[in-house]
Amino acid sequence: MSKLAVLGGEPIRAEPWPAWPDVREQDVEAVAAALRTGHWWQHEGEETGRFEEEFASYQDACRGIAVNSGSTALQVALEALGVGPGDEVIVPAYTFQATAMSVIQVNAVPVFADVEPKTMNISPDSVASLITDRTRSVIPVHLAGLPADIDRLRELAGAHGVPILEDAAQAHGGVRRGRKVGAIGDAGAFSFQASKNLCAGEGGIVLTDDNGIAARAAALRNCGRVEGGPFYQHHTLGYSFRMTEMQGALLRSRLAHLEAETQRRWENGRFLTRRISPLPGLEPLDPPPAEEDRRAYHLYPVRLRSEELGGITRERFMEALRAEGVPCMAGYERPVYQTPAFLEQSFKPRGCPISCAHYRGAINYREVSCPAAEEMCNQVIWLFHSLLLASKEEMKDIARAFEKVAIGHRDLVAATT
């Protein structure tokens, strides 16, 4: 094996990887055309409404309600499900903060479940141990595009009459048992923020098969207006969480490529897993798919077992990978319950929602412990999805770089000490 690039050797690769977002002429044209109409919001234009229909249909859902971010999609969906003060919502400990903060936004209390060590997704066993008569929803996250075990969760939550809200911010195009994610549960929330597999800089959508949830969500995102009702009649609390027509047009244009891109990432991701799994100290968190499953690969996560590689640190391993030409990152470095906002319980004024008079439970986030989530935060390396849009030949560069660093780890550890 040749000398590691981080120690002065030749890198495996010097060429750039596919950019994300990639700017296509047809996207520019779509946005320009929306601009030229002079109808810049959904109230007057057609692009956002069409996108809602097209994306819902692509994800096997009946209804789509476009909003301005994934975070507000979660918030609107929770409110549309009737979650509010005094309620608990079970969320995974290993996720982006918005999954839990959306619960706080509606004045309810997030309860953290641990994740499964092989998938990084919420553990149904952990959820089962946390359901109480205060639980009003469970939010599985399809983390890194891997569909969570919704069937098991539906069984568990359904027995208590608790609805499931899918956080599908990382899972556009993901399929579980032949059905796309998003409305397998009672509702789903997606993000179209710039890093996401379908993106418009910012944006989000709520999907559901339930007309009641859809109508409530539509009113919530649009100042409490009822769909088709008079403009200045506001029937409920609502927000200005609308998507612009320029975003709608851009998303429609990019949606045309999503299926082919998702399939390409899928084939490349499975290829990488076959190549990286046999290497010492490296465990792709990419379990074998059941029939008719398709992971959406927003991220490609690999767990580093440093004890099998001479105690090499994750930082040093990543530095060596980057030097070989493979960009990577550590991802979430602490579970959400250990972020300062949760440690300080610094949320709404006067201690709400924790010390809210409606809340009958007791929670102290400093006492929460989710060992599997904590391990993920310390051990996982993420590759970004745009790498998986390169050719099969280029996937071999990624595999070769992992192999070179894993096999050369002794030189690396020796050079560090």
Ligand X SMILES: Cc1ncc(COP(=O)(O)O)c(C=O)c1O
Name the residue with tokens 């105690």.
311
Q: Phi/psi of residue 341, each to 5°?
A: -60, -40
Q: Contact between 98 and ligand X (CB under 6 A)?
A: yes
Spatial separation of the C-alpha atoms in residues 404 and 326, rounded to whole Å: 12
> Which residue, 116 or 411, has its beta carbon nearer to ligand X?
116
Reference 86, options 367, 380, 359; nearest CA is: 359
Spatial separation of the C-alpha atoms in residues 153 and 182, rounded to whole Å: 14
> Which residue, 71 or 306, has its beta carbon nearer to ligand X?
71
In Å, how far are 85, 147, 216 from 298, measured between CA atoms?
A: 33, 11, 30
Q: Contact between 191 and ligand X (CB under 6 A)?
A: yes
For the CB of residue 140, give the shortest distance to ligand X in the complex, in Å.
Answer: 10
Size of the site for ligand X (CB under 6 A): 14
Q: Which residue number places its CB atom closest to ligand X? A: 70
> Which residue, 164 or 406, has its beta carbon nearer to ligand X?
164
Q: Contact between 99 and ligand X (CB under 6 A)?
A: yes
Q: Contact between 312 and ligand X (CB under 6 A)?
A: no
CA atoms within 13 A on the CB side of 84: 7
For the CB of residue 174, give the shortest distance to ligand X in the complex, in Å.
Answer: 12
- Of the candidate residues 71, 126, 137, 306, the single one contacting ligand X (CB under 6 A): 71
- Of the candidate residues 6, 89, 127, 169, the single one contacting ligand X (CB under 6 A): 169
For the CB of residue 374, give the shortest distance to ligand X in the complex, in Å.
Answer: 18
Q: Contact between 166 and ligand X (CB under 6 A)?
A: no
Q: Contact between 145 and ligand X (CB under 6 A)?
A: no
Spatial separation of the C-alpha atoms in residues 296 and 172, rounded to whole Å: 6
CA atoms within 13 A on the CB side of 345: 19
- Of the candidate residues 110, 173, 204, 408, the single one contacting ligand X (CB under 6 A): 204
Burial 158-177 (b: 16+ CB within 10 A, else e): eeeebbbbbbbbbbbbbbbe
> Which residue, 121 or 170, has its beta carbon nearer to ligand X?
170
Interface positions with ligand X (CB under 6 A)? 69-71, 95-96, 98-99, 141, 167, 169-170, 191, 193, 204
